[in-house]
Amino acid sequence: MSRTIPIHLDSAGRGPGPAAAGSPAVRRMLIGLALGFAAVFLVLPLANVLVKALGKGVSYYQTTLSDPDMRAAIRLTLAVAVITVPLNLVFGLAAAWAIGKHSFRGKSLLITLIDLPFSVSPVVAGLVLVVLFGAQGYLGPWLDRHDIRIIFNLPGIVMATVFVTVPFIARELIPLMQASGNEQEEAALTLGASGWRTFWHVTLPSVRWGLLYGVILCNARAMGEFGAVSVVSGHIAGLTDTLPLQVEKLYHEYNQTGAFAAASLLAMLALVTLGFKALLEWRIRRRYERGQRAAPSGRMEAGA
Amino acid sequence: MSIELHQVSKEFGGVAAVRGVSFRVNDGELVALLGPSGGGKTTVLRMIAGLEAPTAGDIYIRGQRVNDLSVQKRNIGFVFQNYALFGSMTVLKNIAFGLKIKRWGRRRRAERVAELLELLDLCGLENRYPHQLSGGQRQRVAIARALAPQPSVLLLDEPFGAVDAKIRQELREWLVRLHSQLNVTTLFVTHDQEEAMEVAHRIIIFSTGRLEQMGPPREVYDQPANEFVARFIGVMNVFESEVRGGVARAGELEFPAPGRPDGDRLRLGFRPYAVQISADPAAYRYPAILRHAFFLGVVMRLELEMPSGLAVRARITKEEYTQLGLAEDAPVSFQIRQFRVFSRDDAAPAAETAVS
C-alpha cells in the first residue's frame, strides 16, 4: 500500500486513474513490451541475416563476396554514396541557411519541396526519371542523339538516390539554423568579417554536430535505397546492380546464402552507422553536461 | 569619434519605426538612448552600426557620411542584447576574432587579448566556452570582444537587460569605469530610466520612433520637454483639470491659472517629491488619508487618498517618515510645492510654477 502513496502525490491529486500508468508493474510491462517488440522485429531478423549468411561456412561467405558481380555491386553502392552525400551536403547546407537565416518569397514552398521525397513513394521518383530521361521519355531522343545515357546507368541511379535522400541533411539543419538566429553572424560582421568568413567560422561550426548527424543518416539511406534505384537501374549484372538490388536478385535466383551475404554487408553498414550516431549523441550529451557542471562554478567566480 | 544622425527615418514594410531623428553624440561622450520597448531605439543603433539601412536621412561617424559604408568598414564595436558570443569558440578566441580578421600579428593579438582579459576581469576564463559562463561574465566577454579591435565607437543594445539586479548594478559601474579609462564614444540602448540617469552623460529619450528630448539627466528630469518625458523619467502625478475664475481644479486640488479663460482644460503634473506632508490633518491645505506606505530603501512611496477618492502619490525619505510620525490609514494633510502645466498637444510645457 505504502508504495502507491508517492504516485498519488506525483499525479498532483488527479486520482488513481492516470497515476496507474506510473505504477511499477505497468511500467515494467510497458518497457518489456517495447523491448520485446524491438527484439522480435529488429534484432531477430538482423541476427538471422548473419546466421544465414554464414550458414555454409566462412569460406563460402568469402567466396560469395569476392564474386565479380558482387564486387561490382559493392563498388557501385560506394560510388553512389560518395557522389550523393556531398551533393546533398551542399544542397542541405544552402537550403537550411537560406530558410533558417533569411526570409524570401517562396520559402514555405521550398520547405514543402524538401519534404516531398518523404511523402512520395521512391518508386514514383524512379518512374519520373524514366519518363524524363528514358528512351521513350521526353528528353530520350535528344539524349540518344548526343550519346548520353542516364537511365540504366550511374547518372540515373545517382539522381534517384539524390532525390530520395534530399531531406536528410536539410531537415536536420533547418531547425538548428532557425534556433541560432542571426545575432552571432551579425556580431561577426560588426567585427569586420566578410559574409563568406562568417559562414565558415561562425555559422558552420554552430551546426556541425547536426550536419554530421544528417550526413550519417543520408549516407545510410543512399547505400540502402531500393525502390527508386530499382526502377532506373535496369538490373544489368556487374554494371548497374547496387547492393540492395543484388540482394533481391540473388534471392530470386534461389541463392539464399549469397542474398544473405550481401544483406549482411548492408546490415553491418547499418550497425556502423548506428554506432557512429550513438557515439555522436554521447559526445554531444557529454559536452552539454560538462557545460552544465562548469556553469555554477563560473557564477561563483563572478560573485567573488 | 562623434556620431551624427541627420533626419534619419526607417520603415519596415511601410511601417515607420524611426521618424526623422537627428542628434549628435560628441567625441568621448557616454550617451543613453532611452525609451519604452518597441520605440525604435534598437533600430537607431543598428542603423549606426550598418546592420540596417536607413530609409531616409544621413548618418555620420567622425564627420564622414557612412550610409554607403558596409558594416565591416565602419569600425564600430557592437554589443548585442543577448551577447551573441560565438558558441563554438572559447573566450580567448571570441575576443581575438576581430583582431584575426583585421590581420593583427600573433604577438600583438596575444598582448591585446591579455590586456582586455585583465581590464574586464576575465583572467582564468580564457579557455571556457560561452555556455560555461555566467550571465555577467558573458556580458563582459561580449564587451571585450567588441572593444578588442579598438573601434571608434561602442554601441550597446540593452547591455544589462538579461542579468539579475545585483550583476546589473556591477556591470553599470563597469561601463562607467571602462568609459572613463578608454574614453571611447559610447551609445547604449536601455528602457530603464534609472540606468540611463546613473550611467549616461546625456540621455536621448525616444518614443514611437521619435526623439522626444535630449539632454543631461538633470535637465530631462527637471525640465521635461513634454508629458511623455516627464512621466517616463521618474514618476509624476498627472491630473486633468478645468479652469474656473483663474483657478484650475482637479477634484479638490486647486492650481493657480491666471489669465486662462473659464472652461479651459489643462493637464497638470507634479513630482511625488513636491508633495509636502504632515501628520496633523489641519497643517496643510488638503486633507487626506495615508492609504499605503511602501518602503523602497532610502525613500518611502506614499499613497494618499483624498475625500473624493482622488489618489496622490508622494515620496519622502524614511527619516522624514519617522520624524513626521506618519502611519498607514491615519489622516494627514498635504500641500503641493510646485507643479507644471502640460499643453494639450504635448509641445514644450511652461516652466514649473511654485505654489506659495
Sequence letter at residue B126: E
Q: Of A190, A197, A185, nearest to B49 (Cα)? A: A190
* The pLDDT of residue B344: 56
Lowest mean pLDDT among A8-22, A83-97, A214-228, A240-254: A8-22
Lowest mean pLDDT among A8-22, A42-56, A68-82, B27-41: A8-22
Sequence-ordered strand ranges (E) for B216-258: 237-244, 247-250, 253-256
Both B175 and B257 in one domain: the answer is: no
* The pLDDT of residue A11: 39
A237's enclosing H/E stretch is none
User: Which tens digits make up the pLDDT trace of A24-68?
Assistant: 889 999 999 999 999 998 889 888 888 888 888 888 888 888 899
In chain B, which residues have their Cβ closer than 8 Å to the Cβ of A205? 86, 88-89
Chain A residue closest to B130 (CA)? A291
Indicate if the pLDDT at residue A298 is higher than 90: no
User: Which tens digits make up the pLDDT trace of B211-250?
Assistant: 999 999 999 988 888 888 988 888 888 888 889 888 898 8
Q: Are B288 and B335 in contact (CB under 8 A)?
A: no
Q: Which of B61, B72, B91, B169 to mutate to test the interface with A (most CBs of A within 10 A)?
A: B72
Say yes or no: B59 contacts chain A, CB-CB below 8 A: no
Both B268 and B139 in one domain: the answer is: no
Lowest mean pLDDT among A269-283, A286-300, B58-72: A286-300
Query: Closest approach of chain B CAs to the CA of A300, in angstroms?
Result: 9
**What ipTM was reported for this prediction?**
0.80
Say yes or no: B51 contacts chain A, CB-CB below 8 A: yes
Say which DSSP state B158 is in.
Answer: S
Say yes or no: B131 contacts chain A, CB-CB below 8 A: yes
Looking up cell 514594410 gives B13
Residue B212 sits at φ, ψ, to 5 deg, of -90, -40
* The pLDDT of residue A7: 37
Q: Where are the domains of chain A?
A: 4-50, 57-287
Domain end marker among B172, B207, B232: B232
Residue B347: strand, helix, or coil: coil
B228 vs B5: CA distance, rounded Å: 22
In chain B, which residues have their Cβ closer than 8 Å to the Cβ of A183? 80, 82, 84
* The pLDDT of residue A164: 94
B38 vs B11: CA distance, rounded Å: 13
A7 vs A19: CA distance, rounded Å: 6
Chain A residue closest to B145 (CA)? A191
Render B36-71 in DSSP notation, one character per residue: -TTSSHHHHHHHHHTSS--SEEEEEETTEE-TTS-G
Q: How many domains does chain B have?
A: 2
Instruction: Provide the residue range defining the domain that includes B241.
Output: 237-354
Domain end marker among B232, B249, B277: B232
Render A123-175 in DSSP notation, one character per residue: HHHHHHHHHHHSTTSSSHHHHHHTT---TTSHHHHHHHHHHHHHHHHHHHHHH
Both B46 and B158 in one domain: the answer is: yes
A183, A188, A295 ranked by CB distance to B134: nearest = A295
Render A108-123 in DSSP notation, one character per residue: HHHHHHHHHHHHS-HH
Looking up cell 573601434 gives B151
Whether residues A187 and B76 touch (CB distance < 8 A) is answered with: no
Both B266 and B208 in one domain: the answer is: no
Residue B145: CATH number of its domain: 3.40.50.300
More confident residue, A16 or B66: B66
Task: Please give the distance of CA A4 from its chain centroid, rounded to a whole number.
Answer: 43
Strand order in the sheet with B30-34: B76-79, B153-157, B185-190, B30-34, B202-207, B210-215
Chain B residue closest to A194 (CA)? B72
Say which DSSP state A200 is in.
Answer: I
Chain B residue closest to A185 (CA)? B84
A67 vs B27: CA distance, rounded Å: 80
B57 vs B209: CA distance, rounded Å: 14
Query: Closest approach of chain B CAs to the CA of A293, in angstroms?
Result: 8
Residue B307: CATH number of its domain: 2.40.50.100
Q: Are A226 and A165 in contact (CB under 8 A)?
A: no
A192, A197, A206 ranked by CB distance to B88: nearest = A206
Query: Closest approach of chain A CAs to the CA of B147, in angstroms?
Result: 10
Tell me the mean pLDDT in the region B107-117.
Answer: 94
Q: Which CATH architecture has domain A57-287?
A: Orthogonal Bundle (1.10)
| H helix and E strand count, chain B | 9, 21
Q: Which of A101, A191, A207, A283 to mutate to test the interface with B (most CBs of B within 10 A)?
A: A191
Domain end marker among B199, B232, B265: B232
Q: Which of A103, A176, A177, A190 to mutate to test the interface with B (most CBs of B within 10 A)?
A: A190
Helix (H), strand (E), coil (C) string for B87-119: CCCCHHHHHHHHHHHCCCCHHHHHHHHHHHHHH
Whether residues B72 and A299 touch (CB distance < 8 A) is answered with: no
User: Which tens digits make up the pLDDT trace of B264-299?
Assistant: 888 888 999 999 999 998 899 999 999 999 988 888
Start-end of H helices in chain A: 4-10, 16-19, 24-38, 44-53, 58-65, 68-101, 107-119, 122-133, 140-145, 154-180, 183-190, 195-198, 204-206, 208-224, 227-233, 243-252, 256-303
Say yes or no: B72 contacts chain A, CB-CB below 8 A: yes
Start-end of H helices in chain B: 41-49, 91-101, 106-119, 135-147, 165-182, 193-199, 217-222, 227-232, 318-324
* The pLDDT of residue B351: 61
Tell me the mean pLDDT in the region B142-154.
Answer: 93
A191 pLDDT band, cuts 50/70/90, is very high
